[in-house]
């Protein structure tokens, strides 16, 4: 079990805002970040000691990168499994490739969760019209058709409210392998940010309550308004997931809470997560520092929350206007992404209030 010492270097696959906040937390621990990403314009690279701009299948660049760092992690779950295999021949990769592979494919993800006895929306794998007919009959409507791979922020999804809409929904998937999920009439959406260290220690942050608009996270509020028993059940699910995967690092587990308190898992993200950004101000040790500690083989830190927090994403042009929000108590994070597009996550603000 290799441990990255202070003064060492952590390699990070992916160059977006999650990598940027990981790199800044690593710096606070005296650990340099080396970003590996295919895009030249990288918000993470701009705050890091080193940057390799190369494709995820560039074996020579991957080898040189792996040999120049002490451990490797990812801020982006769609890194090809083969990339992790190439890297792992030289340097520890945490979390391991299997966790990424499961999270990359909604069918593999739900199969894994159900095998652990964890509830999900009812689902069927669907690619062809006959499969769609069978799946709709089995699951009923309304339902949601999603691509198995590469969907994010509600992209690659179609809601099917009536049978007449199902042909068009399938056509929109353009023959991409898909999954039909029953529509969950949830009371609220929550997420647990869970961390597991190389020694097997597990720590969870208080669940956040999440509001989405058009499939994109708008706001996370902590604490979530759920009873203690629901919170404890959410922790137990998150802990089971990381333990059964022998996972190392931080993971975001998105959940639906139904009116009877039953929890269904929507998605797992094998990385730091947008719904955990509040921990930067709401806890002594943020999800970013926690992830760096875990993947570098350090002991986990405390996940204790010292305040209530509301984290609001700044989407598109909202980030140009954050000064106009007029609230000096808000902690502002701007990701330095350059061009804003509608719906693009450009930054976030967090407001604290006394802990309840
Ligand atoms: P996802 O990309 O799977 O995280 O979905 C984005 C958002 O769509 C979720 O956060 C939910 O608000 C909503 N959603 C996704 N799947 C379902 C479902 N099976 N039932 C109800 N709402 C869903």
List, for residues 263-288, the tens digit of each pLDDT value. 999 999 999 999 999 999 999 999 99
What is the homologous superfamily of the domain 122-182 according to CATH?
A: ATP-grasp fold, A domain (3.30.1490.20)
Q: Give the residue-averaged pLDDT of 322-326.
A: 66
Pocket test for ligand 1, best of 144, 210, 220 (most atoms within 8 A of CB): 144
Q: How confident is the model at residue 325 (pLDDT cuts 50, 70, 90)?
A: low
Q: What is the secondary structure of 82-149 as a DSSP string?
A: HHHHHHHTTS-BSS-HHHHHHHH-HHHHHHHHHHTT-----EEEE-SHHHHHHHHHHH-SSEEEEESS
Q: Exposed, middle or buried, 208 (CB in 10 Å: 0-12/13-18/19+)?
A: buried
If you classify domain 9-93 with CATH, what class do you get? alpha beta
Q: Is 3.40.50.300 the CATH classification of the domain at 188-354?
A: no
pLDDT given at position 61: 98
Q: Report the share of the chain in percent with pLDDT over 90.
A: 86
Q: Does ligand 1 come within 6 angstroms of the Cβ of 76?
A: no
Nearest CA to ligand 1 atom 1: 154
Overall pTM surpassing 0.85 (yes/no): yes
Assign 356 to helix, strand or coil: coil
pLDDT given at position 184: 96
Q: How confident is the model at residue 2 (pLDDT cuts 50, 70, 90)?
A: confident
**Among 35-39, 118-122, 295-299, 339-343, the least confident range:** 339-343
pLDDT of residue 323 exceeding 80, the answer is: no
- Residue whose structure tokens are 């010292």: 306
pLDDT of residue 289 exceeding 90, the answer is: yes
Cite the beta strand spans of the chain per DSSP E.
Answer: 9-13, 32-37, 50-53, 71-74, 123-126, 143-147, 157-160, 178-182, 188-196, 202-204, 208-213, 216-222, 249-257, 263-269, 307-315, 331-334, 345-354
Taking the centre of ligand 1 as the mean of its atom positions, its distance from the CA of residue 266, in whole angstroms, is 7
User: CATH 3.30.470.20 occupies which residues in the chain?
Assistant: 188-354
Q: Does ligand 1 come within 6 angstroms of the Cβ of 145?
A: no
User: CATH 3.40.50.20 occupies which residues in the chain?
Assistant: 9-93
Q: Does ligand 1 come within 6 angstroms of the Cβ of 215?
A: yes
pLDDT given at position 345: 95
Q: Give the residue-averaged pLDDT of 195-203.
A: 98
pLDDT of residue 155 exceeding 80, the answer is: no
């Amino acid at each position: 079990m290799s441990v990255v010492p202070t003064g060492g270097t952590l390699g990070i696959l992916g160059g977006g805002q999650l990598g940027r906040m990981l790199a800044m937390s690593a710096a606070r621990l005296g650990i340099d970040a080396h970003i590996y990403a295919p895009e030249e314009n990288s918000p993470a690279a701009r705050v890091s000691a080193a940057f390799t701009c190369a494709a995820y299948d560039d074996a020579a660049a991957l080898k040189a990168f792996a040999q120049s760092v002490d451990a490797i992690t990812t801020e982006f779950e769609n890194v090809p499994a083969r990339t992790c295999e190439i890297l792992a021949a030289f340097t520890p990769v945490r979390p391991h490739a299997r966790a990424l592979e499961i999270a990359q494919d909604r069918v593999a993800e739900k199969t894994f969760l159900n095998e652990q006895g964890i509830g999900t929306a009812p689902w069927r794998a669907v690619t062809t019209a006959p499969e769609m007919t069978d799946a709709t009959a089995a699951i009923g409507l309304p339902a949601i058709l999603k691509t198995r791979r590469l969907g994010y922020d509600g992209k690659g999804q179609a809601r099917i409210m009536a049978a007449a809409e199902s042909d068009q929904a399938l056509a929109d998937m353009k023959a991409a392998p898909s999954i039909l999920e029953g529509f969950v009439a949830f009371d609220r959406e929550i997420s647990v940010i869970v961390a597991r260290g190389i020694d097997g220690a597990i720590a969870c942050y208080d669940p956040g309550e999440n509001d989405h608009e058009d499939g994109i996270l708008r706001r996370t509020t902590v604490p979530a308004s759920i009873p203690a028993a629901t919170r404890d059940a959410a922790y137990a699910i998150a802990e089971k997931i990381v333990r059964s995967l022998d996972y190392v690092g931080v993971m975001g587990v998105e959940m639906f809470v139904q009116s009877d308190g039953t929890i269904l898992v929507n998605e797992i993200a094998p990385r730091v997560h947008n719904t955990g950004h509040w921990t930067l101000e709401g806890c002594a040790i943020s999800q970013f520092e926690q992830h760096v500690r875990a993947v570098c083989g350090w002991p986990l830190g405390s996940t204790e929350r010292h305040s209530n927090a509301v984290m609001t994403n700044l989407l598109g042009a909202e980030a140009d206007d954050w000064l106009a929000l007029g609230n000096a108590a808000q902690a502002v994070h701007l990701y330095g992404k350059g061009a804003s597009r509608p719906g693009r996550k450009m930054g976030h603000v967090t407001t604290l209030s006394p802990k309840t």
